[in-house]
Amino acid sequence: MTSLMTNLAAMTALQALKSTSTALERTQQNVSTGYRVDDAKDDAAYWSISTTMRSDVQSISAIQDGLGIASAMVDTAYTGLTSALDVVSRIKSLIVAAETDGVDRAKIQSEIAASQDALLDIAKSASFAGVNWLNTKIPDIQNASDDLRLSQIMSGIQRGSDGKLDLSTMSVDVAEVSLFNADGGGLLQADSRSPKTIGGIRHLDSYDPWTTNVTGYETYGPASIGSRATQIFLFDGPITFGASDTMSFDVTIGAEDDGNADLPAPYGTGHTTTLTINRALVDTVLPSAGGVVSTNGEWAAVLRAAVPAGDAPYVSIVASTYEHPVTHAYTYYIDFTDTQAWPGSEGTSMAISGFATTTSSSGGVGNTPFTDYGSTASEVNLSFSAFHVAQDVEINFSLGVYGHSYSYEIDRDTIETVLNQKDGVVESADEMVTVLSSIITNVPNLIIDSSGAGNVRLAIDRAADRSSGIHTGFSISNIDVNIEPLPAYDILDVDVEDDGMIDIYLQVVDAMEGRVTAAAAKMGAMQNAIASQRTYLEKLTDTANRGIGVLVDADMTEETTRLKALQTQEQLGLQALSLANGSPRALLSLFQ
């Protein structure tokens, strides 16, 4: 249909041209910006995701800057510590050199003094951005609160459960790396954190007059050991047994001590065995002796043979010899020993009674008016003195009780919890009883109390456990304090011209060398952790940027090809529109 009123061809051409122009405009924008999604109207979902990811990338970039600062701080401390370690090792070697006879200790001391100055310079110069972990001014640094001791540095990021990025930090305990602190307590200064005798749990080193030095305390404490009962007789032989001669006596073992106030009645009577010796027995043991027992060794052999077979495991009979230290005269004895408590009785004792003989000599064995009771080790006493457990200090020890070993630990948290205080100090024997009672809960029939003399007693209730002699025993051993050995002097105190102190200073500097080494190792570990995090964040940034590109970047090859095609389509649309607009004019010419 041909119409003068409506030009359908022109309308169609115009719509096509508008569509092409719109597509061309968008393609030109993509080409000029490089983005396929430039704002929310292009693709709301992709734009939202990419915007969030760009924000994360910016946050990561800021965190990388923070990690760079943290890395520089740790690197500075590490460099200072390793440099100090070299100097400490140098001082240690100079102290060793000063032990040689004939050396000029004054010259060696001048080298040590120069090294001491170098240590101070290293500590003071190990500063970054105004922060110095090696030269500090923290009051009572080893017992200071966390807000004074801990320095926080950035360590990375993590996404929380709410989807937001959260900073993560790591703590540097300045007390573990400070070389010099204003009021003491640095790695190269005297350390006052020793818990000393730990309330009597351990002994001072009795072989070392310098009770405050690094080896001032033993790894063991009070101990008591039960012993067997013994009867000793002086041999008065020789003894001649004629054909009709006999000798007999009773041996009672395992009777309990009815005079022991700690041991309630009833008392076990033990077991009695009778020994009978005659000529036949002597000839069996000494077939060529003609009935004559000449020495204490021969007499012990005859007596052993007289013990009934069932009792033999419980009675030891041996010969012993004593040499006088001055006259060198020899004395010969016979020892009867209760080797173990008789079955069914916890007592340990030895008694000889009912002696009778027809021989001219008793061989030293006769009636004895007493019973020998083996000693019972059912308790230990701690000579208490107040002590302090600092932060991060762990005390471990073993308690041996009646052949069993138990292990325990005391730390500051234990003391503060049990005593309901915040200073980590055990002031009295009663407080020590409270602390020990809280941790020693698995030893049967154990009593822990304090005496009027201010000591602490650990004892087995004899009414509940009647064990005695070798079946008993208390000991404290394997004592370990995790922060020891501790130096008792500053490295700046070292002066090898004082000959009597050289060995002490060597121990002090050796301990300090170990502490500085441990501190440098901590800083090295932090260096690795920060470096790993920085590498990870770099990779994370690259990955995020690639993800953003996939979502919003334009494919420039595709977009330029599309641009050329749309430009061609625009030209064709213009020509089509021109032709469509020419049709009415051609129709009008028919009426001219």
Could you report the per-residue pLDDT of 205-257, keeping only the tens digit for each?
654 444 444 446 888 999 999 888 888 888 887 999 999 999 999 888 888 88
Residue 103 CB contacts under 8 Å (≥ 6 apart), including other chains: 97
Please state the φ and ψ torsions of residue 569, each to the nearest 5 degrees.
Answer: -60, -35
Output the pTM of the full model: 0.64
Residue 8 CB contacts under 8 Å (≥ 6 apart), including other chains: none
pLDDT, tens only, 284-315: 999 999 999 998 889 889 998 998 888 888 88
For residue 69, which of 1, 155, 7 has the smallest C-alpha distance?
Answer: 155
A 10 A CB-CB count for 380 gives: 23
Give, in order, the Cα–Cα distances in Å from 56 to each of 52, 169, 284. Answer: 6, 18, 102
Give, in order, the Cα–Cα distances in Å from 331 to each of 120, 300, 322, 328, 336. Answer: 69, 15, 5, 10, 16
Rounded Cα gap, residues 166 and 555, in angstroms: 35
Residue 187 CB contacts under 8 Å (≥ 6 apart), including other chains: 177, 178, 179, 512, 515, 516, 519
Name residue, tokens 């090696």. 134
Q: Is the peptide bond before 287 cis (omega within 30 degrees of 0)?
A: no
Name residue, tokens 């599309």. 562
Q: What is the pLDDT of residue 291?
A: 93
Q: What is the pLDDT of residue 135?
A: 92
Per-position pLDDT tens, the chain of length 592: 555 555 566 666 666 666 666 655 665 565 555 555 556 555 566 566 656 666 666 666 666 666 777 788 888 989 999 999 999 999 999 999 988 888 888 999 999 999 999 999 999 999 888 889 999 998 888 778 888 888 887 766 666 666 666 667 778 888 889 999 988 888 898 888 888 899 999 987 654 444 444 446 888 999 999 888 888 888 887 999 999 999 999 888 888 888 887 788 888 888 888 999 999 999 999 999 999 999 888 988 999 899 888 888 888 888 777 766 665 455 666 677 777 766 666 778 888 888 999 998 888 887 666 788 888 899 999 999 999 998 889 999 999 999 899 999 999 999 999 999 888 899 999 999 999 999 999 999 999 999 777 899 999 998 888 888 888 899 999 999 998 878 878 899 889 888 778 888 888 898 899 999 999 999 888 888 877 777 776 776 666 666 655 555 555 566 566 656 656 666 666 666 566 666 666 656 666 6
Rounded Cα gap, residues 410 and 399, in angstroms: 13
Residue 226 CB contacts under 8 Å (≥ 6 apart), including other chains: 348, 374, 375, 376, 377, 378, 468, 469, 470, 471, 472, 473
CA 2 to chain CA mean position, Å: 102
Give the SS3 label for residue 168. Answer: strand
In the CATH scheme, what is the code of domain 47-191+489-545? 1.20.1330.10
For the chain, the domains span 8-34+554-591, 47-191+489-545, 230-373, 378-481
Please state the φ and ψ torsions of residue 313, each to the nearest 5 degrees.
Answer: -65, -15
Q: What is the pLDDT of residue 396?
A: 97
